[in-house]
Amino acid sequence: MTVNGTDIASNRPVLASGSTTRAQMLARAGVEIDQQPADLDESAIISSLTAPPDPLGVDDVALVLAQAKAESVSQHHPGRLVIGCDQTLELQGELFQKAATMEAARHNLLRMSGKTHLLHSAVVIAADGNMSWSHVETASMTMRDLSPEFIGRYLAQAGAGVLSSVGVYQLEGLGAQLFEKIEGDYFTILGLPLLPLLAELRHRGVIAS
């Protein structure tokens, strides 16, 4: 099968994400994948999931988004396993979304300064349009008190790349300077609960056990 001019190997899982970080995590763990981002209106889905009177919890939003991505892409790859992922950020019960501008990023960091937020990372496996496995993990992230001057310097040095992260940071880089304490799995913080996923892929015989 060919997708967007790329030959697709029928025995490899498909990652329903355009994330370079997630693809590299899997590759470094020895999992060969093909990659096809899901074509979904995430903002519309989030709006519907969080609307009153019964909004979903922030962790459940991550799971539903991961499921929607996996099931959408799996419809185009009969018989293949498709991996869907998503991550949401929760601050004092509120769902944060990615900052669209550097000014919005500055505002978000000021709000998170000195507080603990939660990162909910969900991963789903789907086949033939239906979810067959899912897992959600949460990491607790406590930011130190950040001065407006430090935030300004941090954003200037880190650059617009931080806008790709819901928390306005990349922990593997300058983002580490923002934190006082971290509790949780490193891979979960990066956006993919890798160890449970590897265990499931071994169980299914996709990778060697």
pLDDT at 86 over 90: yes
Tell me how far apart the alpha carbons of residues 193 and 135 are, in angstroms, rounded to a whole number: 8
pLDDT at 167 over 80: yes
- Domain 2-203 carries which CATH code? 3.90.950.10
pLDDT, tens only, 37-77: 999 999 999 999 999 999 999 999 999 999 999 999 999 99
Tell me how far apart the alpha carbons of residues 121 and 86 are, in angstroms, rounded to a whole number: 6
Of the listed ranges 114-118, 164-168, 198-202, the least confidently predicted one is 164-168
pTM: 0.91
Tell me how far apart the alpha carbons of residues 139 and 119 are, in angstroms, rounded to a whole number: 5
Cβ 139 vs Cβ 184: under 8 Å: yes
pLDDT at 114 over 90: yes
pLDDT, tens only, 6-44: 334 567 999 999 999 999 999 999 999 999 999 999 999
pLDDT at site 10? 66
Token digits of residue 135: 């897992």
Would residue 86 show up in a list of annotated catalytic residues for this protein?
yes
Q: Is 156 exposed, middle or buried (0-12, 13-18, 19+ CB in 10 A)?
A: exposed
Cβ 110 vs Cβ 148: under 8 Å: yes
Tell me how far apart the alpha carbons of residues 17 and 143 are, in angstroms, rounded to a whole number: 28
Average pLDDT value for the chain: 93
CA dihedral of 6, 27, 67, 169, whole degrees rounded to 10: -110
pLDDT at 127 over 50: yes
Q: Of 59, 86, 128, 185, which residue is the catalytic one? A: 86
